[in-house]
Amino acid sequence: MSESNNGNNGNKSNNGNNNGVNPEKDLGTQNLPGQRGDHGEEIRVQRGMFGANNGGDTSGYGGLVRSVRLPGASSRPYGGWFDEVADELEGALEEQDLLPENAIEKTVVDRDELTFHIAREHLVRVAKTLRDDPALRFELCTGVSGVHYPEDKGRELHAVYHLRSITHGRLIRLEVSAPDDDRHVPSLVPVYPTNDWHERETYDFFGLIFDGHPALTRIMMPDDWQGFPQRKDYPLGGIPVEYKGAQIPAPDQRRSYS
Amino acid sequence: MSASNATSHASGRETTEGTVYTVTGGDWDEVVEQAAKSDDERIIVNMGPQHPSTHGVLRLILEIDGETVTEARCGIGYLHTGIEKNLEYRTWTQGTTFVTRMDYLTPFYNETAYCLAVEKLLGIENEIPDRASVIRVLLMELNRMSSHLVALATGGMELGATTIMIYGFRDRELILDIYELITGLRMNHAYIRPGGLAQDLPPGAVDQIREFVKKMQKNLPEYDKLATGNPIFKGRMQDVGYLDLAGCMALGATGPILRSTGLPHDLRKTDPYCGYETYDFEVPTADTCDSYGRFLIRLEEMRQSLRIVEQCLDRLEPGPVMVGDKKIAWPAQLALGPDGLGNSLDHIKKIMGTSMEALIHHFKLVTEGFRVPPGQAYAAVESPKGELGVHVVSDGGTRPFRVHFRDPSFTNLQAMAAMCEGGQVADVIVAVASIDPVMGGVDR
């Protein structure tokens, strides 16, 4: 990717500082698609521009290759109360003879939000610690949100929890991932009973199986529904519509710019 | 359906758990009488999904013993419309037209929560013009009143109190008129957009809101007179739908349900957004943990909302209502044309006639949308029902990668079983009404 950009930059007279400097980091990133540079964590490689890969592309954008990167792990200090929470959590896990680096895969601080990526086998223990430790006291779980990253091999399905501490007025995020061929995540219902319906919803939409859930059944879709609609490989559906003589394709068939 | 033919509305079926009789239609007394004859059998009653007192299409599955509910479960999903999936196929700006339809009684909260999350992803939280934030607060507080009015009105109607229903919808109509003046629509506004608002307040809006505040200050005490001290009302609501603080925490219940346990948890105070920390208002609580306490809280919250609305009107300063960043703000200049609100003809003339770049920019921004840097964000607002949280994920494209709404109705409805089991069938209605679930939000 960087070679092709260097080639382009060579044509521009006003950009002569690309020797030794990654031009991707120097360009005004707000005008460019996606996060540039090599920082962060790659979740996907995007090819082309408009989602169309059949037919002749005369724009030149069809050859575009860029990696899509989410914010990666942060290093200390995280800033604000984030360090305090991280210290307390690590200390509390150590007290339970659980090495924090085994439980917490990485810690991400992005946009003033603290995210702990937790190894799924330790999720329940970590959540219980977060809820019960007096210095942490995340009493309220606001449920689970599933995210499907189809090209993030080995960690396709994510379950994202937001925990709120009313005592300390804090909000953190827990994230666990599961590979697509082993879609199991332990259920948090024993720790946060509110997750009962939320986990059913995430199961219903993503096929994530929450082990230990009291009754993991579909909640929104009909009981005999096939497939998991919110997964990225599940089509939106829809039919083309004729408008003023032109056929307007269904939303998921339209040209996209992502 | 005659009483002599007892089998006409009960057909037997052999199952692994013994004979199951399905009873539909008929007179309730007859059904109960027949059921009483075989009192060792379980009776499962399906309430809804088309029952008038279930707030839309909520299905309650009650296992009853005489008049006592021994087990209660909800069946939901009848109004699932796949909004979260649909959002992934539209631009970030188009998203507001979808989210506003989720909990259709609190459209401005859905829009604001979504926009706050998108703005957090864009990193422009601090660039939102003051006027836009004030108008957001103004609309949200009007919306809190209109939502609470529906809660009181339908809640009263379900108890058989039709006067309070008429009063509630009368006052809500005043608020809907304001919405219509400002956004053009009574619901589904899509007025709040990432970066600010679709357009400024129209002429006359401030005057109409001031008039409304005056009228509402006169009307609000009527609810007190009608209901607050009413012995029948109190008899039906007190100690019904009991859920204490531990139950609320475990079940994730927020909003008036949580505050009826005495905990003054309100995101407007604890985690302020849109400048709520600068407004002067109280967070009402009750310590009864019951439906009556929630009713009192809703009434008091309407008074507090009126206070906030007045403060908003006082601090409205002229200024922009959209961020200055032309890469985010739609270039459209809206104006009222002969066929309704749309692009201003002058603006179109200008970009068509004088600036090809402006035209291209306009076209690209509207058809393609703006790009949002990759990452995820969570934004939460205190909706009339509780914590409305939005989790958005971007992959750097012009469409959301994932949007998840943590709707308070959805979470609070889980508490139905805890509130109703062991109580009377008639109290189920009161308890559900005190949760104030809106199925558009529950099912999304």
Interatomic CA distance for residues A86 and A68, integer angstroms: 28
Identify the residue among A197, A236, A239, A252 best suited for mutation to test binding to B, counting B beta carbons within 10 A and taking the highest: A197
Q: What is the reported pLDDT for A38?
A: 58
* Mutation target among A144, A145, A224 for the B interface, most CBs of B within 10 A: A145
CA pair distance B50, B422, nearest whole angstrom: 24
Q: State which residue of chain A sits closest to B402, comparing Cα positions.
A: A147
Q: How many whole angstroms separate alpha carbon A258 and alpha carbon B262?
A: 47
pLDDT score at B364: 84
Q: Which phi and psi (to 5°) does residue B246 adopt?
A: -60, -40
Among B77, B89, B401, the residue with its CB nearest the CB of A220 is B77
On chain A, the residues whose CB falls within 8 A of the CB of B263 are 166
Distances (CA, A) of B238 to A228, B294, B425: 43, 10, 15
Over residues A17-28, the pLDDT tens digits come to 333 334 444 344
CA distance B348 to A235: 37
Contact B292, B228 (CB under 8 A): no
Inter-chain residue contact A34 with B393, CB threshold 8 Å? no
Distance between A48 CA and the closest CA of chain B, angstroms: 13
| CB environment B366-383: b (16+ within 10 A), e (fewer) | eebbbbbbbbbbbbbbbb
All residues at 6 or more sequence positions from A54 whose CB lies less than 8 Å from its CB, including other chains: none
Q: How far apart are CA B312 and CA B133, in angstroms?
A: 10
Which pLDDT band holds residue A35 (cuts at 50, 70, 90)?
A: very low
Q: E strands of chain A, at which residues? A: 41-47, 65-70, 104-110, 113-118, 140-148, 157-165, 170-178, 184-186, 209-211, 241-243, 246-248
DSSP label at residue A30: G
Tell me if A68 sits within 8 A of B394, measured CB to CB: no
Q: Is B252's CB within 8 Å of A113's CB?
A: no
Question: Helix B162-183 and helix B205-223: axis angle, to 10°?
Answer: 170
User: Averaged over A217-243, what is the pLDDT?
Assistant: 88
Please determine, for residue A14, whether its predicted confidence score (pLDDT) is greater than 50. Answer: no
Summarised one tens digit per residue, pLDDT across range A142-155 is: 989 999 998 888 88
pLDDT at residue A15 tops 50 = no
Pairwise CB contact (< 8 Å): B375 & A111: yes
Q: Which ipTM value was assigned to this complex?
A: 0.83
d(CA A89, CA A83): 10
Report the pLDDT value the prediction gives residue B390, as an integer from 0 to 100.
Answer: 94
Residue A162 has pLDDT above 90, yes or no: yes
Of B250, B327, B387, the CB nearest to A193: B250
Rg of chain B (C-alpha set): 24
- Beta strand B375-383 with B340-343 is unpaired
Residue A67 and residue A38 in contact, taking contact as beta carbons nearer than 8 Å: no
Instruction: Fill in the amino acid letter for A171.
Output: L
- Mapping DSSP onto H, E and C, the string for chain B reads CCCCCCCCCEEEEEECCEEEEEECCCCHHHHHHHHHHCCCCCEEEEECCCCHHHCCCCEEEEEEECCEEEEEEEECCCCCCCHHHHHCCCCCCCHHHHHCCCCCCCHHHHHHHHHHHHHHHHCCHHHCCHHHHHHHHHHHHHHHHHHHHHHHHHHHHHCCCHHHHHHHHHHHHHHHHHHHHHHCCCCCCCCEECCEECCCCCCCHHHHHHHHHHHHHHHHHHHHHHHHCCHHHHHHHCCCCCCCHHHHHHHCCCCHHHHCCCCCCCHHHHCCCCCHHHCCCCCCCCCCCCHHHHHHHHHHHHHHHHHHHHHHHHCCCCCCCECCCCCCCCCCCEEEECCEEEECHHHHHHHHHCCHHHHHHHHHHHHCCCCCCCEEEEEEEEECCEEEEEEEEECCCCCCCEEEEECHHHHHHCCHHHHHCCCEHHHHHHHHHHHCCCHHHHHC
Provide the token pair at A103.
């439980």
Q: Which two tokens stand for residue A3?
A: 């070679």
* Contact present, A23 and A5 (Cβ < 8 Å): yes
Which residue of B lies nearest to A110 if distances are taken between CA atoms? B375
What pLDDT is stored for residue A32 in this prediction? Answer: 46
Q: Quick one: closest CA in A to B394, which residue? A: A70
CA angle B278, B282, B283 (to 5 degrees): 115
Q: What's the pLDDT at B331?
A: 67
Name chain B contacts of A147, Cβ cutoff 8 Å. 376, 393, 401-402
Tokens standing for residue A183: 């879609």
Question: Which of A31, A169, A236 is facing B86, going by the closest CB pair?
Answer: A236
Top residue of A142, A170, A175, A231 to mutate, by most chain B CBs within 10 Å, is: A142
Residue A215 main-chain phi, psi, to 5 deg: -155, 80
Average pLDDT over residues A88-104: 86
Q: How high is the pLDDT of residue A78?
A: 85
Strands B59-65 and B43-47, by their bridges, are antiparallel
- The reply to whether residue B411 touches residue A142, judged by beta carbons under 8 angstroms, is yes
Q: How far is A146 from chain B (nearest CA, A)?
A: 8
The residues, ordered by sequence, that sit 6+ positions from B135 with a Cβ below 8 Å of its Cβ are B197, B201, B312, B316, B321
Which range is least confidently modeled, A11-15, A38-42, A140-144, A251-255?
Answer: A11-15
- pLDDT-based confidence at residue A6 (cuts at 50, 70, 90): very low
Cβ neighbours for A237, distance < 8 A, ≥ 6 positions apart: A250, A252
- pLDDT by residue for chain B (444 residues), tens only, comes to 333 444 445 566 777 767 776 666 667 677 667 666 665 667 788 876 666 666 778 888 888 887 888 888 888 888 899 899 999 988 899 999 999 999 899 999 999 999 999 999 988 888 899 999 999 999 999 999 999 999 999 888 888 888 888 999 999 999 999 998 888 888 888 899 998 898 888 888 999 999 999 999 999 998 888 888 888 888 888 889 899 999 999 999 999 999 999 999 999 999 899 999 999 999 999 999 999 999 999 999 999 999 999 999 999 889 888 888 888 887 667 777 777 677 788 878 888 888 888 788 888 888 888 888 888 999 999 999 999 999 999 988 888 999 999 999 999 999 999 998 888 888 888 898 899 888 888 988
Q: Which of A51, A217, A211 is nearest to B77 (CA)?
A: A217
Alpha-carbon span A134 to B5, nearest angstrom: 65
CA–CA distance, B150 with B105 (Å, rounded to integer) = 8
Asked if the Cβ–Cβ distance from B254 to A254 is below 8 Å, we say no
Contact A198 B411 (CB under 8 A): yes
Residue A113 has pLDDT above 50, yes or no: yes
User: Quick count: other Cβ atoms within 10 Å of Cβ B163?
Assistant: 13
Q: What is the mean pLDDT of chain A?
A: 80
Interface contacts A/B by beta carbons within 8 Å: 146
Which residues of chain A are within 8 Å of residue B251 when distances are taken between CB atoms? 193-194
Of A70, A148, A160, the CB nearest to B375: A70
* Chain B CB contacts of A32 below 8 Å: 371
